[in-house]
Amino acid sequence: MRFAARFLILYGSQHGQAQSIAEEICQQAAEHGFTADISCLSNQHKYNVDHEIRPVVFVVSTTGDGDPPDTAQKFVRKIKNKSLAHDHFSHLRYALLALGDTNYANFCNGGKTIDSRLQQLGAKHFYATGHADDGTGLEVVVDPWIEGLWDALKKMFSSMSSNQQGADLRDCTQDNYHKNASGQEKNKSDLEVDLHLLKLSEVDSQKGKTITSDSSDVETLFTALVASLKQSVPPLSESVLNVPALPASYLEVHLEQGSTERETVPSDKDCYHEVSISKAVQCTQDDAVKTAILLELDISEQNIAYQPGDAFDILCPNRASEVEELLLRLDLQTQKNCAVQVNLLKNSSKKAAKVPLHIPQNGSLQFILTWCLEIRSAPKKAFVRALADFTQNGSEKRRLLELCSKEGSADYNSFVRDANVCLLDLLRAFPSCLPPLSLLFEHLPKLQPRAYSAASSSLQHPGKVNFVFNVVEFPARPEHPARTGLCTGWLADHVSSILRPLGTVPASEHLGTSALPKVSTIAITHYTFHLPADLSIPVVMVGPGTGVAPFIGFLEQREKEREANQEATFGETWLFFGCRHKDKDFLFREELERFAHNGTLSHLIVCFSRDEPDAAGTVNSPTYVQHNLRLHAKNVASILLKDKGCLYVCGDGKNMAKDVNDTLLEIIGNKLQIDILDAMKIVAGLREEKRYLQDIWS
C-alpha cells in the first residue's frame, strides 16, 4: 500500500501568532513534496482526530493564566472527557509546537495541556515537541523546529508505506534522540531543551567553518565597524545567506473614489461600548520616574457588570502623525479618503487564503490604517523578506535579507524585535523600499485592544469603573525616535483637557457629558482573579506600582462587605506594595492608609526602592516586595499552608513576578524543610487549587 504524503495541521490561536505559524508550515509543505490540510481547532466539523490516520501537526498558543486559547477550549474539553479509553488515540501520530512566554507563569501550558492528554490517551510523537518563547523571540525555536519537521515527516511516511508502522513509529519517535559530536545519544527532554535554547551559529559557508566572536583576525580587522539596523559587520556581511522563502501574495487592494461606509470605532460587532471618561487624575508627582494616571469611566448607561479583579479592554487608534507619515511614505496621502476594496488574488499559491476579517470593505484607507492594523508591531521575518523584494537599492536589499536570514537572527533580535522597531522605522531606514498596500494588509496584524485591571468595586462606585496606568515611554535610539506607548500615550493625550493633579478640585465638573472624552470598552471577566467567596479565607496581595490596581477594588469590596456583615468573620488581608519614592509615586496612599486604619486591610507592608535609608540608618531595609515577603515568611507560609489562604500577584511579569515566585519557593521550602523540587510541587498545587493567582504583564 502506498501512502500519499498528506498531513493535517491544527492550530489554536488567541491573537493570530499560532495561526500565522501554522499557515507558514502549510505554505512550506509543497516545497518539500507534501500536501497539507489546515484547520483551526475550533472548526471541529472540518477534522476528526478520533479516526485520523494522517500525521497531525498541532500549533498551540497559551493565554491567560496558562490556559489554552479560546479557539482550542472546546477541543481540550473534548479530549479531557474522563470516559475516553486509555488507548483512544493509539492510532494518532502527531507533532506539537507550543507557544508561550517565559515572562509569565505556566510557560507554554496551552500546548503542554494538549500534549500530555494526547499522550495519556495513547497518541505517539513522530517528532519532538517544540516550546517557543515569545520572551526571547519565537523564531529562535520555531524556525529550526519547522526545518526539522520535514525530515520527521519523510520518515513518518516512509514507515507508513513500508507497512511496518508499529516498529518504525518507535524509530520515528526515536528521532527525538540525536547524536552529538561524540556519538552519544541525547534523549527527548534534552532535545526539547536544545530547541528552547538553540542559538544559530554564524557560519561562513564559503570556508566551511564557524566564525567565533573572539577570532583575533576578525577583531583586528573590523574593530571600527559597528552593526546597526542599517548595516552589518563581518562575518554576517560576507556570509552566504539562508533566507526564508518569499511569502506568497494573496490579496489585491483597490482604492476607489466615492463615499465610504459610515466610519466609527470598529466596535459594534464585538459588543464594545462607547463611554465617557468622567475623571482623569495624575497620581504621581511631576518629577516621578513614571507618570501614572487614573481614569474613571462612566458606565451607568451601558449596564456593564464587573467584579474587582476583572479587566477592561480599551480600543485605541494608531497615532495620527504616524498614519500620516506612512501614507506620505507610500505616496498615498492624496488617496487616504478613498474606499478600500480587498479581494483574494486569483491563482494565489497560499493555502487557505482569506481576506482578513479585521479589514472592513469600503472603509477609507485612513480609517483602516488608524483603527484596524497594528502599524507599531515589530515586522516578522516573513514580512522583512517580502519587503526586501520591493527594495531597489542593492545594499539596502542585502541588509533586509540579512535581517530575515538564519545567519542574521542575532541582528534581527537586537535591531528589530528587541528595539521595538516597526514598519515605519524600517521604511525610514531603507528609503528605497516601497511596498504595495496589499503587502501591508497581508502582514500587519490586527490592532488589538489593551487590557487594564479594574481599580474599583461597583459596590463603592456604582455606575463607574476606575483603572490606572503608567504612560509607557520609549526613549530615542538609533532605530527609532522617542515615543510613548500606543495606548497609554494616546490615553494621556486624550484626557489632557480634564487631567488634574492629585488632591485638586476637578476642573471638568462644569462640562456636560457630550464634552467629555470618550473611549470604547468592554469588560473582560477573569473568572479566577477574584476574592474568595468565603469571607473567612485570608488573602495575601502582592502589587507594586500599578500592580496594586485590582487590590484597590478588592479592598473597596471587602470594606463594603464588612459594613453589610458586621457579625461575620473575615480573614486577614495582607498587602505588599512597593514603589520608587514614598513622596513621588506611592499610588493610592490615602486609600490604603484608610483601609489599614479602619481594619479592612489587616497589614499594609510597603517598601521604597529608591529612597535613602531612614534616620535610623537601617542598612538592610527592604527594597522590593519580595524582600518584605521574606521578612514575613512565617505569616505567609501559615496563611497558605495552614489556613488555606490565597495569594494574588499583580504587576510586572518580566522581573517582579519571577522574583516573588522564587521567594515563595524559598519560604515554603524553609517552612516544610523540603528541597526546591518538592517546593515546586507544592506551589503547583496552589496554582491548581486557584489559591496562587497572577495578573501580570511584560
Span 444-484, pLDDT tens digits = 999 999 999 999 999 999 999 999 999 999 999 999 999 99
Number of neighbouring beta carbons within 10 Å of residue 267: 16
Residue 364 lies inside a defined structural domain of this protein: yes
Residue 9 lies inside a defined structural domain of this protein: yes
Contacts 24+ apart (CB under 8 A), 562-569: 562/599, 562/600, 565/535, 568/535, 568/536, 569/535, 569/536
CB 281 within 8 A of CB 293: yes
Give the domain-ending residue among 494, 524, 554: 524
CA-to-CA distance for 251 and 355, rounded, in angstroms?
7
CA-to-CA distance for 618 and 613, rounded, in angstroms?
6
Pairing of the two strands 203-204 and 450-453 = unpaired
Span 491-500, pLDDT tens digits = 999 999 999 9
Residue 586's pLDDT is: 96
Residue 481 lies inside a defined structural domain of this protein: yes
CB 553 within 8 A of CB 695: no
Checking if the pLDDT of 199 tops 60, the result is no
Strands, E, within 162-317: which ranges?
A: 178-179, 185-186, 203-204, 209-210, 251-256, 273-282, 292-298, 311-314
Pair 520, 547 in one domain: no
Residue 186 lies inside a defined structural domain of this protein: no
Residue 81's pLDDT is: 94
Residue 647 lies inside a defined structural domain of this protein: yes
Pair 543, 479 in one domain: no
Pair 37, 104 in one domain: yes
Pair 584, 617 in one domain: yes
Torsion of CA 606, 610, 614, 616, to 10 degrees: 100
- Structure pTM? 0.80
Pair 363, 488 in one domain: no
Pair 19, 146 in one domain: yes
Overall domain count for the chain: 4
Pair 309, 323 in one domain: no
Residue 211 lies inside a defined structural domain of this protein: no
Pair 379, 311 in one domain: no
Residue with grid cell 506611592, as numbered in its chain: 586
Residue 266's pLDDT is: 61
CA-to-CA distance for 635 and 539, rounded, in angstroms?
11
Name the phi and psi angles at 234, rounded to 5.
Answer: -60, 150
3-state secondary structure of 643: coil
Strands, E, within 152-226: which ranges?
A: 178-179, 185-186, 203-204, 209-210
- Say which CATH number the domain at 260 has: 1.20.990.10
Give the domain-ending residue among 160, 193, 218: 160
- Say which CATH number the domain at 679 has: 3.40.50.80
Pair 19, 31 in one domain: yes
Checking if the pLDDT of 617 tops 90, the result is no
- Say which CATH number the domain at 482 has: 2.40.30.10
Radius of gyration of the chain (CA): 27
Name the phi and psi angles at 114, rounded to 5.
Answer: -70, -45
Q: Which amino acid is at 634?
A: K
CA-to-CA distance for 37 and 685, rounded, in angstroms?
39
Pair 309, 411 in one domain: no
Residue 632 lies inside a defined structural domain of this protein: yes
Flag the least confident range among 352-356, 577-581, 631-635: 352-356
Span 138-178, pLDDT tens digits = 888 998 999 999 999 999 998 887 744 444 333 443 444 33
Domain with 314 in it: 273-318+449-504+515-524
Pair 285, 413 in one domain: no
Instruction: Dihedral sign for Cα 345, 349, 352, 356, please.
Output: negative
Pair 471, 438 in one domain: no
Flag the least confident range among 107-121, 253-267, 656-670: 253-267
CA-to-CA distance for 376 and 425, rounded, in angstroms?
9
The predicted model gives 399-414 an average pLDDT of 95
Residue 473, strand partner residues? 484
The predicted model gives 407-425 an average pLDDT of 95
Torsion of CA 448, 16, 192, 681, to 10 degrees: 50
Residue 195's pLDDT is: 38
Flag the least confident range among 255-269, 473-487, 674-688: 255-269
Residue 187 lies inside a defined structural domain of this protein: no
3-state secondary structure of 273: strand
Residue 512's pLDDT is: 66
Residue 321's pLDDT is: 97
Give the domain-ending residue among 160, 189, 217: 160
The predicted model gives 583-594 an average pLDDT of 96
Span 506-531, pLDDT tens digits = 654 555 677 899 999 999 886 789 99
